[in-house]
Structure 1
Amino acid sequence: MDFLAYISKIRSFLSYKVFTSLIYFILALLLFGILYHNMKPETYDMELFSVADKTIRSPKTIEDELKTKEERENAAEAVDNAYVFKKEMAQNRVSLIASIFDFVKETNLESIRLPEKNEKEQGKGEKVEEKKGDAASALENRLKLLKTKLTANVTEDVTNSISDQILISLLQADALQLQNLKDIVVHQVEAAMNEKIREDMTEVAKMAIADKIKATGLPKDLADAASELGQYAIVANELYDESLTEERRKQAMEDVEPIKILQGQIIVQEGHLIDRETYRQLEMLGLLKSNPTLKPLVGLGIFIVLVIGTLYIYLSRLTLPEEKKQSHLLLLSLIFILSLIIMKIIGLMEKANLNEIAYIFPAALAPMLVKIMINERFALIMTIILAACGSIVFHDGITSTIDVEIAVYILFSGLAGVLFLSGRNERSHILTAGLFVSGINILLIFFLSLIGSGQFTATEYFYYGLYSVVSGLLSAIFTIGLLPFFEAGFGILSTMRLIELSNPNHPLLKKLLTETPGTYHHSVMVANLAESACEAIGANGLLARVGCYYHDVGKTKRPPFFIENQINIQNPHDRLPPETSKDIIIAHTADGAAELRRHKLPKEIVDIAEQHHGTSLLKYFYFKAKKANEGISEHDYRYPGPKPQTKENAVISLADSVEAAVRSMANPTPEEIRSLVHAIAQDKLLDGQFNECDLTLKEIELVKETFCETLNGIFHSRIEYPDFKQQKVIRDGTTN
């Protein structure tokens, strides 16, 4: 019993979805188990303040967030406070001082006009009393008036900031003194305020302006007044800007590059003490057994989901029967797991100090097997997935997470095998493909070494080249060796298997030739017709040809009952009732299928034997029986089917009928052949024999045209040679 038979038993107990899900689940588990060791982070049993018994390097590049945070905080603290120099404040303070002097002058003028106005109000010739009040009262009134003006017109609280004594000194000064005093104070304030003055420097600036004003030689009371006004005018003009300071600190923090522990960096050397900082780094990297990290395993889980998802999406979109999809999935899974096992074995050899032996991996094995047994697209998908897996299995845990170089090597090596086999069906091309892959591998080795400016010795190049050649040859040898096992186990009908089945030395074909020579000849003729027609419509011509060779194997059970084998014998059907003849003729499809299954021929060939007559009517025996019994059922004289399910089976069905009909004609003309082909095709079409396959009307027309061309080549007109006996009579001079 083959592999598929066991699978069919399991499948019979489970639904399609459950069985398919089970395959995906098992594949995921196997993939996880194979790659787990390569992704599992290495951990160490170390304690704080213990001595390291080995040198430990970082397996990956990682940001030290704590150190980065500290460095950024230090950078922010190192930024000085930002101050903004307000140039306009100099003019504002000058204007303020000038306004004070102006209000003093204005107050003095108003105090002079007020007595004159009072004298006029007392009457003409009347003498105004020169001393209405004492001088103190007058000065006090002027002071109040000045304060009122300052309070009403100046935004600052000048009256509380400047003492009354200063204001009185200003009010008592004459106009010339007041103007001189104003010029001095304004000049000194303007000069001082044009310099940058911070808050903590205002007292120094005030003392400086006081000294400068006093040095001008003014009278003491005026000098004191001017000095106090000057000091009052001095304020900080370089002010702290909180938002600018924060912005600069933020920029300083952003300018700090993240502190990283680089991949391959030594964390602790053998014999050194594991201090707090070293222990923290080991803990952060997940290298301590007490605190391992699960991130790599989570990453592996995501990778497996991607692999399984890719296979699921692609398979789900194929327009194939569910059973076929499951067979493809099983085959892909077995080839994939086999390749991973080989990969792991080579990976273990690499760890045994056999450097770069990863290049000996037969990267083209799986792609070529899949290309031959399924199709090219699946082979390309398999190549990409294997390249990704190889980058994990062969990576150096100290210096890298994945090995990109080996991934490129596996990818292009696999692609080379797939592309070389495209359109080549013979097994001999597998070895040639292996040699081609070896050549591509050598080019890849030189590419990878030169692009990295590698300095390799001649010996190293020799070994790399040897690994590359062995990789290609192993791919070809394993493909040739494993192909028969997969084909037999899965019942896969590959191109190479078809070529083998077309060998005339096959036991069934030899039996067909020796026991039913007429049927054998008929099968070969039908094969010629079917192959050319299938190739014309894009179907599998080779499958059609080989299927035709075996489609009438059932006739070997009762050869004389089929007309092509009735040589110099009477037709046995003449002595049998139509019911018996019908049963014998119809049985040849079931007998043929049983014989093919007994010889374990592929399912596609068995289907051709079962379906090449579909459910067509045995018209000759049906009408013969109808003459004797009008109530006979047409259904009883039809083949059991099923109807053709594929294009190839439909074309063979049509070719079988056409060849038998044309062979029965004596010297058919092209017009007669065309008319007959059209009639047979129309009859099968109207009878619904093509209803269950995807053969289109356009393709049927193309098939008919191809049949006519092929038959015209077979039944072409021949030269009519003269009768040799008549020629002898003429030469001898005799007559009949």
Structure 2
Amino acid sequence: MTKQKQKVLKWNQTSPKQAKVLLFVLLGCIVYAMLVSNVRPNTVDVETYSYSPRDIQSPITIEMKEETQKKQGEAADQVDNIYSYDKNSPLTQATKSSDLFKAIKKINETEKSHKDKEDTLSLDQKIEQVKGLVDNEKISPDAYEALFKASSNDLDTAREFTSSVISETESNKITLGQVDDYRERAENKIRQNLKLPRALMNAVVEITKNNIVSNYLLNVDETKAAKQKAIDETEPVVIKEGEIIVRKGDVVTPEKFKQLKLVGLLDKETGFYPYTGLFLFVLILMVGLYYLLQESPTKERITKKTMLLYIILVTFTLLCMKLVSFADKMEIDGIYFVAPFAAGAMMIKMLLDERTAIISSFFFALCASLLFNEGSTGTFNFSLTFYVLVGCLSGVLFLGKRHYKTRILKAGTFVAFVNVLCILSILFLQNAKYTIGQVGIELGLGLLSGFVSTILALGLMPMLESWFQILSTTKLIELSNPNHPLLRKLLIEAPGTYHHSIMVANLAEAGCESIGANGLVARVGAYYHDIGKTKRPHFFIENQMNMENPHDKIAPQLSSTIIIAHPYDGSKMLKEYKLPQEIIDIAEQHHGTSLLRYFYIKAKDQCGKEIPESDFRYPGPKAQSRESAVVGIADGVEAAVRSLSKPTPVKIDAIIRKIITERLEDGQFDECELTFKELDTVAQTLSETLNGIFHSRIEYPEQQLKK
């Protein structure tokens, strides 16, 4: 066995879940490989005082801490100091001077009362006593001597005047710089208004000056809080993402060089952070995509083949965008607008389903934001995210359910129109000055994107359908063409069966669409479900025109063998013509394992004994899908209603429900997902459709021919 055959065998043995995981891992590797060049950090090769070869933009937003600290210091220096006035200062200082005079007067009086004693105190001792009574250490010994020698009346006069001058002076807001000025004013006032001995006058002046102090002082806490507030309100100095640090042709000054180094544009060694970030980005996308597709309501139709097709379509779309991203280096304005991203979304819609296409549209938009980040201010180009997402969704939603070629062309035109609107929206929001030529080029590229997407979709669809044997809407419409060789054969060789198939197709499509199944699959399957009758057309009653029934001349066992063979004869013919498996399944399964009741009863009557039912049952399989089950119901209903001589709504509804009940009790719906509610809906829909076909008509009286 060759290695290639061994690989194919291993792949065939892989479960759908394992295959899906492996394919998504493969897709993740492909996406990572395509995006890795777009996250590699940009560096510039410049030296101090060299000329910049181009406009150099900052790739990140970063704070210049030294400049911020300098700016904060300047802001703090501009805050004026906050001073507070001490309202208690006039009373406090006046009281201190008054207490000094009182202490001296008391010591003098004490000394006079002890004159007869020999323990007279010296001047130093008296000064020590005064210091023990009041806190006024700045008074000179000469001043103390003059005070102790002064009379009691002079002391009282000096005390009162001194207190008054101090109190009056301290009522002003006196800063440290103004103290000397106010002291001189007080001295002048004392010398001009007070008549005292010279020595005492000097002492009074000294006491007064000593008690005139600064009462308008710096409030440290409030000043500190104000400066801190100024620092907090200072905006940090930052280099913003996308900001041009050095323009083309400008000299790289030391300051600019420092900024380039700060934002990492001078780093020769690339860090691992961008690649780790890209890995996490791709991982999030893959896990999200896997989960959303796993939860798809159509996941039972997801096979290894369809998963592989999906990976190919996604890879193709990303590859197209990657090739356009290389052209972005040509410096053509808005070249990325020409990427045919909508082609992938439209083909996913036509070959798989709409939900998957919508999910993939978001995936393409996120990948495009990284693929086309050249010249962008950041890692992600969110303008392209908007453009790609809206374009993909417009193509997917405009296609609708019937994917005729004309519909695909219209969808491409609609995508082109939406692209133009998106481009205009992006340009207007940027509020930049664009020339008419620039705008025209970008709008033209947007139009071209829509048309290229249509061409790619129309060109690749047949090839992909053939390779993967996908039953797309386009393929179904092609198969429903009456000129198909098998349908032409059915029309010519079994016209009654052809008419019956057309009626069944109408009924089956209506029934399937009423329960959310694929009506087009049911219609096309109904066209071909009785193709096996062309092998022996006259053994089926709808083709017996003006002829005897051949079943009247043969045994019921042979009749049943001929009738039972038609689904499998049809299956062989459909396989020869390479029709999709879904159509072949409907042909094989539309009778399930039901009983040929007429020939079974006829055989029992002829033999007069019990005969095994299995000899008169179709070998199956039973209906595996809702479409096969509904085609089988429509097949039986159409034949039964056609046999009614005068069909009425009541009779039609009764026979429909009888056929459904019999098939249900016979277990024909055991292997498909039809619910009781859906069966009731199908019954109502078939009844309404048949009542429209077999409505009553007016009988016109015959007109006699006039001679």
Shorter-chain TM-score above 0.5: yes
Structure 1, residues 651-694: CA drift from partner, whole Å, max 9, x if none? 22211111222333444444433332221122223333334444
Q: Kindly tell me: are residues 521 and 237 of structure 1, through their superposed partners in 2, closer, same or farther at Cα, counting changes over 3 Å?
A: same
The aligned counterpart of 1:697 is 676
The aligned counterpart of 1:15 is 15
Structure 1, residues 17-36: CA drift from partner, whole Å, max 9, x if none? 43222222222222222222
The aligned counterpart of 1:616 is 594
The aligned counterpart of 1:438 is 416
Structure 1, residues 255-306: CA drift from partner, whole Å, max 9, x if none? 443333453524486696x776555433333333533355544443444344
The aligned counterpart of 2:42 is 42
The residue matched to 1:136 in structure 2 has which SS? coil
Shift of 1:428: 0.8
Shift of 1:100: 1.2
The aligned counterpart of 1:136 is 120
Task: Provide the C-alpha distance between the structure 1 equivalents of 2:659 and 2:347, rounded to a whole number of angstroms.
Answer: 41
The aligned counterpart of 2:67 is 68
Shift of 1:37: 2.3
Of 453, 456, 461 in structure 2, the residue corresponding to residue 483 of structure 1 is: 461
Q: Kindly tell me: are residues 68 and 325 of structure 1, through their superposed partners in 2, closer, same or farther at Cα, counting changes over 3 Å?
A: farther
The aligned counterpart of 2:84 is 85
Matched, 1:177 2:154: yes
The aligned counterpart of 1:307 is 285
Shift of 1:457: 4.8
Letter aligned with residue 87 of structure 1: D
Matched, 1:604 2:603: no
Q: Kindly tell me: are residues 444 and 143 of structure 1, through their superposed partners in 2, closer, same or farther at Cα, counting changes over 3 Å?
A: closer
Matches within 5 A, 1:528-543: 528-543=506-521
Q: Is the 8 A contact 1:209 1:230 kept in 2?
A: yes
Identity of aligned residues (%): 36
Q: Is the 8 A contact 2:556 2:600 kept in 1?
A: no
Q: Is the 8 A contact 2:97 2:207 kept in 1?
A: no
The aligned counterpart of 1:290 is 268
The aligned counterpart of 2:167 is 190
Q: Kindly tell me: are residues 285 and 98 of structure 1, through their superposed partners in 2, closer, same or farther at Cα, counting changes over 3 Å?
A: closer
Task: Provide the C-alpha distance between the structure 2 equivalents of 1:97 and 1:159, rounded to a whole number of angstroms.
Answer: 8
Matched, 1:496 2:470: no
Shift of 1:338: 1.8
The aligned counterpart of 1:519 is 497
Task: Provide the C-alpha distance between the structure 2 equivalents of 1:214 and 1:669, rounded to a whole number of angstroms.
Answer: 137
The residue matched to 2:43 in structure 1 has which SS? coil
Q: Is the 8 A contact 1:75 1:252 kept in 2?
A: no
The aligned counterpart of 2:57 is 58
Letter aligned with residue 244 of structure 2: Q
Matches within 5 A, 1:64-463: 64-72=63-71, 74-75=73-74, 78=77, 82-91=81-90, 93-94=92-93, 96-97=95-96, 100=99, 103-104=102-103, 107=106, 132-133=116-117, 136=120, 150=133, 158=135, 173-174=150-151, 176-194=153-171, 218-261=196-239, 263=242, 265-267=244-246, 277-288=255-266, 290-322=268-300, 324=302, 329-397=307-375, 401-422=379-400, 425-452=403-430, 456-463=434-441
Shift of 1:495: 2.6
Task: Provide the C-alpha distance between the structure 2 equivalents of 1:353 and 1:554, rounded to a whole number of angstroms.
Answer: 63
Letter aligned with residue 655 of structure 2: L
Q: Kindly tell me: are residues 460 and 109 of structure 1, through their superposed partners in 2, closer, same or farther at Cα, counting changes over 3 Å?
A: closer
Q: Kindly tell me: are residues 675 and 420 of structure 1, through their superposed partners in 2, closer, same or farther at Cα, counting changes over 3 Å?
A: closer
TM-score normalised by the chain length of structure 1: 0.80
The residue matched to 2:302 in structure 1 has which SS? helix
Q: Is there any run of 5+ residues in structure 2 with no aligned partner, and where?
A: none
Q: Is the 8 A contact 2:52 2:246 kept in 1?
A: no
Letter aligned with residue 133 of structure 1: K
The aligned counterpart of 1:679 is 658
Shift of 1:219: 3.1
Q: Is the 8 A contact 2:72 2:234 kept in 1?
A: no
- Of 568-577 and 695-704, deviating more is 568-577
The aligned counterpart of 1:659 is 638
Q: Kindly tell me: are residues 211 and 10 of structure 1, through their superposed partners in 2, closer, same or farther at Cα, counting changes over 3 Å?
A: farther
TM-score normalised by the chain length of structure 2: 0.82
Letter aligned with residue 651 of structure 2: E
Task: Provide the C-alpha distance between the structure 2 equivalents of 1:85 and 1:670, rounded to a whole number of angstroms.
Answer: 103
The aligned counterpart of 2:33 is 33
Q: Is the 8 A contact 1:55 1:266 kept in 2?
A: no
Aligned pairs, number: 699
Q: Kindly tell me: are residues 415 and 717 of structure 1, through their superposed partners in 2, closer, same or farther at Cα, counting changes over 3 Å?
A: closer
- Of 329-338 and 559-568, deviating more is 559-568
Q: Is the 8 A contact 1:58 1:261 kept in 2?
A: no
Task: Provide the C-alpha distance between the structure 1 equivalents of 2:567 and 2:688, rounded to a whole number of angstroms.
Answer: 29
Task: Provide the C-alpha distance between the structure 2 equivalents of 1:589 and 1:367, rounded to a whole number of angstroms.
Answer: 38
Task: Provide the C-alpha distance between the structure 1 equivalents of 2:272 and 2:186, rounded to a whole number of angstroms.
Answer: 72
Matched, 1:650 2:636: no
RMSD: 4.5
Q: Kindly tell me: are residues 165 and 59 of structure 1, through their superposed partners in 2, closer, same or farther at Cα, counting changes over 3 Å?
A: closer
The aligned counterpart of 1:122 is none
Q: Is the 8 A contact 2:169 2:182 kept in 1?
A: yes
Shift of 1:391: 3.6
The aligned counterpart of 1:126 is none
Q: Kindly tell me: are residues 142 and 719 of structure 1, through their superposed partners in 2, closer, same or farther at Cα, counting changes over 3 Å?
A: closer
The residue matched to 1:85 in structure 2 has which SS? strand
Q: Kindly tell me: are residues 268 and 105 of structure 1, through their superposed partners in 2, closer, same or farther at Cα, counting changes over 3 Å?
A: same
Q: Kindly tell me: are residues 711 and 101 of structure 1, through their superposed partners in 2, closer, same or farther at Cα, counting changes over 3 Å?
A: same
The aligned counterpart of 1:505 is 483
Task: Provide the C-alpha distance between the structure 2 equivalents of 1:377 and 1:614, rounded to a whole number of angstroms.
Answer: 32
Structure 1, residues 466-525: CA drift from partner, whole Å, max 9, x if none? 333322222222222122233333433333322211111222222333344333232222
- Of 22-31 and 487-496, deviating more is 487-496
Letter aligned with residue 85 of structure 1: S
Q: Kindly tell me: are residues 636 and 276 of structure 1, through their superposed partners in 2, closer, same or farther at Cα, counting changes over 3 Å?
A: farther
Structure 1, residues 173-222: CA drift from partner, whole Å, max 9, x if none? 55543343233333443355455566788788778866765675643443
Q: Kindly tell me: are residues 663 and 223 of structure 1, through their superposed partners in 2, closer, same or farther at Cα, counting changes over 3 Å?
A: same
Shift of 1:549: 0.9
Task: Provide the C-alpha distance between the structure 1 equivalents of 2:126 and 2:245, rounded to a whole number of angstroms.
Answer: 87
Task: Provide the C-alpha distance between the structure 2 equivalents of 1:634 and 1:485, rounded to a whole number of angstroms.
Answer: 47
Task: Provide the C-alpha distance between the structure 2 equivalents of 1:376 and 1:179, rounded to a whole number of angstroms.
Answer: 109
Task: Provide the C-alpha distance between the structure 1 equivalents of 2:673 and 2:435, rounded to a whole number of angstroms.
Answer: 61
Q: Is the 8 A contact 1:526 1:656 kept in 2?
A: yes
Q: Kindly tell me: are residues 76 and 668 of structure 1, through their superposed partners in 2, closer, same or farther at Cα, counting changes over 3 Å?
A: closer
Q: Is the 8 A contact 1:93 1:233 kept in 2?
A: no
Letter aligned with residue 416 of structure 2: S
Letter aligned with residue 681 of structure 2: L
Structure 1, residues 360-414: CA drift from partner, whole Å, max 9, x if none? 3334323332333344444333334333433433344376654444444434433
Task: Provide the C-alpha distance between the structure 2 equivalents of 1:713 and 1:705, rounded to a whole number of angstroms.
Answer: 12
Letter aligned with residue 94 of structure 1: Q
- Of 276-285 and 672-681, deviating more is 276-285
Q: Is the 8 A contact 2:399 2:407 kept in 1?
A: yes
Letter aligned with residue 659 of structure 2: I
Q: Is the 8 A contact 1:58 1:285 kept in 2?
A: no
Q: Kindly tell me: are residues 583 and 160 of structure 1, through their superposed partners in 2, closer, same or farther at Cα, counting changes over 3 Å?
A: farther
Of 427, 442, 446 in structure 2, the residue corresponding to residue 468 of structure 1 is: 446
Q: Is the 8 A contact 1:93 1:189 kept in 2?
A: no
Task: Provide the C-alpha distance between the structure 1 equivalents of 2:562 and 2:90, rounded to a whole number of angstroms.
Answer: 125
Task: Provide the C-alpha distance between the structure 2 equivalents of 1:412 and 1:211, rounded to a whole number of angstroms.
Answer: 91
